Chain A
Amino acid sequence: MRIICKDLSFSYEPKKKNTAYALENVSLTIEEGEFFGIIGHTGSGKSTFIQHLNALVPLQSGELLVGEFDLDTKNKQYKKNLKALRSKVGMVFQYPEYQLFAESVFEDVAFGLKNFYPELSLKQIEQKVKYAIELVGLNYYQIKDKSPFDLSGGQKRRVAIAGVLVTDPEILVMDEPVAGLDPVGKKELMDLLHSFKKGNKTVIIVSHDMDEVCENCSRIAIMQGGKVVKVGKPSEVFTELPDENLELPVVARLKNALKTKGVEIDCKLESDDFIEEIVKKYKERNGR
């Protein structure tokens, strides 16, 4: 599902005179199958933007198409489509493990599914829940009857994600997916997102971790004051510090500094790629 957003503006107090806009003329297209990153400091409009994608915030002005769904509230099909839209656009908020509530992992994961598809038989539900739990790398039989509150932090987060993946969304939106996870947990979660994406599905992450974003996303949008100020590949976006509230990814910082000394390092913004290029450049310069 492709996302096309044109001149999207949004205010939390639309009737107020001289109101502040949380989003201002945001235009952005996210292609099917992209691993897309959105960065920006607190209050830059990231959350407001992603909440538009499954109509948690209604469209005020501008256009927003998510796959075949037109999110214009004046559209006759709008209300009727909401449920289908939300089952296709999975949204995982920050620290989703705090949203677990059911008595067992099975019930927690099945909750959304039952709401979206009340007609499903118990057998079908079981099948889908099992699929989702295994997709997030957990053992279905070992975990399904446990209380979600007895799990470790990393497991809880996976269960919460399974509860979103269970409706088989086409687009997965995650707000700060790796905040609070250790390096191994981060890597596992990112691997999970990459494997989800393989079926030509779209992953959109919002993150404060510039290095994380660079290493995983094919394209990035930087938001500032409700506007998208830059969009592109990580190496295109981080040619300079985009915003004083953010920091450059380490590799971008090194690349940019070397550039001022006349040394062009052409690499992705990933540690290992950078190291390889430095070695090459060093040998080249040393005439070896």
Chain B
Amino acid sequence: MQAIKIENAYFSYEEGHPAVNDISLEINQGEYIAIVGKNGSGKSTIAKLINGLLLPKSGKVSVFGLDTSDKKQVFEIRKNVGMVFQNPDNQMVATIVEDDIVFGPENIGVPREEIAKRIEFALTATNNTAFRNRPSSELSGGQKQRVAIAGVLAIRPKILILDEATSMLDPKGRSEVNEVIRKLNKEEGITVITVTHYMEEALFADRVIVTNSGQIAFSGTPEQVFSREKDIEACGLCLPRAMYIANRLKEKNILDKNLKCYTAQELESALCELFVKI
């Protein structure tokens, strides 16, 4: 099923300087999408166009067939599209974790019994059950960001958008959040769109979209996208570090050209194997 359809969307914050310039994109329900691109390339703008926080100045964005420009549909669209931002501190509305999660469903008038169920679901899905009665101010960044995701999940969205949601977290917090996102995608079938600066995070995606100057430069599976090292660099990005090292060693005929090597783990095994042999 098609979840999102963007047709020739154009958006500018300032006249004559398009942030998104004639982008077309279709995303299916259940897909895991990573959007990468340098600062100012339009990736966050695309994310905000999808849940109607921004409306295209020309072109059309629809979510499950609903046009984001149709004012009557905005509420329905936002119920389906949850969004998590960069700074976890800006997304906490209540002092206690559970209250924070209740906020969303209460606002959209979910019945009491159903709310209780949703809290359980949201807490479990984000590995947060142990924190339910804790003050959110006592949590670490990664924990807070997981609570923010739980708050969004309690609305039961079909699509989850993360706008650089891990950029303020330490490595452990980052992996906690990524683990939760992957689980939601795999087990709950939630469509995930993550906007990120960490190329390593893009490796988890089904499809990677590279933006440059307000347009989609190219896209494909992580394998397809990351095999285009020159194009990646031309867009102001760089390969995951392990892959960069692997590519240089392939050029020097030290590693086999056809070896799949994206992560540090894979490179580690490849190098160990190589040196044990010789």
Contact = CB atoms under 8 A, between A and B. Distances in A.
Interface in B196-254: 197, 236-238, 241-242, 244-245, 248-249, 252, 254
B275 A263 contact: yes
Interface residues of B, number: 39
Given A42-B170, A183-B237, A244-B172, A282 B278 contact: yes
A162 B218 CA distance: 36
Interface stretch (A82-90, A130-138, A250-258): A250-258
A77 to B, nearest CB: 37
B268 A182 contact: no
A41 B242 contact: no
A176 to B, nearest CB: 8
A180 B86 contact: yes
A253 B272 CA distance: 12
Contact of A278 (B140, B249, B264): B249
Interface string A170-210: 00000010011111110000000000000000000000101
Contacts of B274: 282
A179 to B, nearest CB: 6
Contacts of B197: 180-182
A285 B278 contact: yes
B140 A43 contact: yes
B173 interface: yes
A139 interface: no
A250 B264 contact: yes
Interface size class of A (residues with CB under 8 A): 35 or more
Interface string B9-43: 00000100000000000000000000001111000
Given A275-B245, A275-B249, A278-B271, A208 B39 contact: no
B185 interface: no
A65 B242 CA distance: 41
Interface string A148-166: 0010111000000000000
Contacts of B39: 152-154, 180-182, 185
B38 A210 contact: no
A245 B141 CA distance: 12
A211 interface: yes
A182 B198 CA distance: 9
B120 interface: no
Contacts of B264: 250, 253-254
Contacts of B167: 179-180
A286 B278 contact: yes
Nearest to B36: A182
B241 A254 contact: no
A182 B38 contact: yes
Contacts of B276: 261
Given A43-B140, A261-B276, A278 B254 contact: yes
Contacts of A41: 140, 170-173
B139 to A, nearest CB: 9
A181 B39 CA distance: 7
B271 A183 contact: no
24 contacts: A41-B173, A42-B173, A94-B168, A153-B39, A153-B40, A180-B39, A184-B236, A208-B171, A211-B241, A244-B172, A250-B264, A251-B241, A254-B268, A257-B272, A258-B271, A258-B275, A261-B272, A275-B245, A275-B249, A275-B252, A279-B249, A279-B252, A285-B275, A286-B278
Those 7 A-B pairs whose CB atoms lie nearest each other, nearest first: A182-B38, A245-B172, A247-B171, A183-B238, A250-B241, A41-B170, A42-B140
Given A41-B170, A183-B238, 5 more contacts: A42-B170, A95-B87, A182-B37, A245-B171, A278-B254
